Amino acid sequence: EAGVVQSPRYKIIEKKQPVAFWCNPISGHNTLYWYRQNLGQGPELLIRYENEEAVDDSQLPKDRFSAERLKGVDSTLKIQPAELGDSAVYLCASSQETYNEQFFGPGTRLTVL
């Protein structure tokens, strides 16, 4: 069974530029998560989807971050415009249901110059 797929793996951009990350969850997983992880810290939840619905986006900085999960499968996370402080690893995870274990993708390492 294929795991969670993310692309790109690495992205370097200049501040004020836009950037987008893509995630394909494990087949059959209804719940999809986007996390941000800074060096030496645990992941921080940005948004959680149940199928197409964003059910928890309280920690998503909505002035510059947006996300979508069309058709309840793939998801895209966008930052526009990027700031220096957005440099981090962006992780996507999926689970069958909210209370099940989450499986993580390899992450996208974003560097904002």
Q: Smaller CB distance to other proteins: residue 10 or 18?
A: 10
Residue 33 Cβ, how far from other proteins at the closest point, in Å?
Answer: 8
**What helix, strand, coil percent values describe the chain, rounded to 5?**
5, 50, 45
Q: Smaller CB distance to other proteins: residue 39 or 70?
A: 39
Residue 8, preceding peptide bond in cis (omega within 30° of 0): yes
- Piece of the chain touching other proteins by CB under 8 A; list 12-20, 48-56, 62-70, 76-84: 48-56
Does residue 106 touch other proteins according to CB under 8 A?
A: yes
Q: How many residues bind other proteins (CB under 8 A)?
A: 22
Alpha-carbon separation of residue 52 from 6, 56, 86, 92, 104 (angstroms): 18, 12, 25, 15, 19
Q: Which of residues 61-90 bind other proteins (CB under 8 A)?
A: 89
- The one-letter code for the residue type at 52 is E
**How are beta strands 108-112 and 10-13 bridged, if at all?**
parallel
Does residue 57 touch other proteins according to CB under 8 A?
A: no
User: Residue numbers of the site for other proteins (CB under 8 A)?
Assistant: 40-43, 45, 48, 55-56, 89, 91, 93, 98-107, 109
